[in-house]
Amino acid sequence: MTVFEGTFTNIGSARFAIVIGRFNDLVTEKLLGGCQDCLKRHGVNPDPNGTQVDYIWVPGSFELPMMARQMALTGRYDAIICLGAVIRGQTAHFDYVAGEAAKGIAATSFQTGVPVVFGVITAENMQQALERAGIKSNLGWNYALNALEMASLMQQVQGSHASYQQTQALPHSQENQFTQSQAQQEKHS
């Protein structure tokens, strides 16, 4: 049995996209700074003019999943980090935005096979959000660390199982034919 563990170094020329919500940018810019610091300290060049990290600004957290999906579908990225901040107000808007962002980001990751990190702070007030974005700690660092680990894991798993998958996997149409013939045999038994 093989044990896979992500590393935070040896990621080579991995590429990352960071999708940032502009709404509550006082918070999201601090999260972005934490991400960039973490990536740089782990050997990734976060320079916007470099080749390893692309930055995409969207209006707010609700738009994060759509743009993350577009970026994932390009096939250029080993991981994507979504950064946003949703602060509770007097209406239910907070619940809808935070919930849809979470569902959309998770769905993007599952549908595309690209790790997409949920880096959306949900807070009761601005003070609480700022504490999570730099006053007490910067969760942007954690989100980047998650992306590094997932990119590493994906490289390991895909690399070690590539030959196995080529010899064992049936194309979808052959798989359906096999299942149909099995069903016919069982029906006649």
Active-site choice (93, 161, 172, 188)? 93
Report whether pLDDT(178) > 50: no
Confidence of residue 6 (pLDDT cuts 50, 70, 90): confident
Report whether pLDDT(176) > 50: no
Write down the mean pLDDT value for the chain: 86
Annotated catalytic residue 93: yes
Residue 162's pLDDT is 52
The CATH architecture annotation of domain 16-188 reads 3-Layer(aba) Sandwich (3.40)
> Mean pLDDT throughout 89-117?
92
135 C-beta neighbours (distance < 10 Å), count: 12
Report whether pLDDT(171) > 80: no
110 annotated as ligand-binding? no
Domain ranges of the chain: 16-188
Q: 118 - beta bridge partners?
A: 82
Cα–Cα dist 44/86, whole Å = 28
151 annotated as ligand-binding? no
Convert the pLDDT of each residue in 10-67 to its tens digit: 677 899 999 999 999 999 999 999 999 999 999 999 999 999 999 999 999 999 999 9
Confidence of residue 181 (pLDDT cuts 50, 70, 90): very low
Confidence of residue 72 (pLDDT cuts 50, 70, 90): very high
8 annotated as ligand-binding? no
135 annotated as ligand-binding? no
Q: 138 - beta bridge partners?
A: 133
Cα–Cα dist 15/79, whole Å = 7
Cα–Cα dist 82/102, whole Å = 10
Residue 159's pLDDT is 78
> Mean pLDDT throughout 66-87?
98
Greater model confidence, 157 or 162: 157
Are 63 and 35 in contact, with CB atoms under 8 Å apart? no
Report whether pLDDT(183) > 60: no
At which residue do the structure tokens 């690209």 appear? Answer: 114
Report whether pLDDT(145) > 80: yes
How far is CA 56 from each of CA 37, 68, 71, 167, rounded to the nearest angstrom? Answer: 18, 9, 9, 39
Convert the pLDDT of each residue in 114-124 to its tens digit: 999 999 999 99
Greater model confidence, 180 or 29: 29
Report whether pLDDT(143) > 50: yes
